[in-house]
Amino acid sequence: MIRFSILVLSCFAFLEAFAQSDTTYTALPDSSHLLKQVYQLDLSRQQRTELPAELFQCTNLRVLNLNSNLLTALPAELFQLSRLQKLYLDDNRLEGLPKEFKNLSQLQELSLVGALWTNNATAALNMLLRNSELETLYLDFNALTNLPSGFKNLKKLQLLSLHHNQLTELPSSFAKLPELRTIDLSHNPGLDLDQIGSVLSQIKTLNRLNLHHNELSSLTNALLD
């Protein structure tokens, strides 16, 4: 009977933990104990210019949405949340990305749509290239004119979205992305299709390519093969 009671209590504890992990909080709890039970947090559309100190106590956080705020920089404390797997920073005003980004060693999905307000976005992107677990990366609407060659380090990258930028070509190192399946290059009117084709044709896993709304007179044989 005692063993049965322990088993029932263990099941309830597991179900409670599972329910908490599936809950998205839209505000931070008051209790420091409860902060450690926050797995998903949505602080989007709150006009924040800085992040609350309580956020950095959410040491079990897996998903963080900071879209549509007024952030110009990301504090080093944010990158102590080493269990973070998904981070959304769309529609902010980031003047750069800190070197501490590499500390998010479990990060699988990152969205920076319209978030990079810097004249040197390429240098900012260099800060992401040690996040080797990244599978999904959104970099749309950032006025990017080129990309760093270090993208080849993102060996697990499967989806890369780059629409509404000012790209003309891709680094040749893209050919060394072994898992890339989807790339969106739509709304980049200056694309050099010969160069793009020669690079992307070497990625055997690629099965979806979006080139809509570009000034394309023809498609190269490399892209059609």
User: Over the stretch 99-128, which tens digit does the pLDDT of each residue have?
Assistant: 999 999 999 999 999 999 988 888 899 999
**Shortest CA distance to 43 belongs to which of 21, 23, 71, 64?**
64
- The model carries a pTM of 0.88
Q: Count of CB atoms within 10 A of residue 110's CB?
A: 21
Which structural domain range is residue 113 located in? 2-224
Contacts of 67 (CB under 8 A, 6+ apart): 44, 45, 88, 89, 90, 91, 92, 111
CB 200 within 8 A of CB 174: yes
C-alpha span between 13 and 97 (Å, rounded): 39
- CATH code for the domain of 202: 3.80.10.10
Structure confidence at residue 221 (pLDDT): 53
Q: For position 214, what pLDDT does the model report?
A: 84
Alpha carbon 1 to its chain's center? 49
Residues of the chain with pLDDT under 50: 4-19
According to DSSP, residue 189 is labeled T
Confidence at residue 21, expressed as pLDDT on a 0 to 100 scale: 67
* pLDDT, position 69: 98
Q: What is the pLDDT of residue 1?
A: 52
Nearest to 51 by CA among 29, 24, 71: 71
Tokens of 196: 């793009």
Looking at the structure of the chain, the number of domains it has is: 1
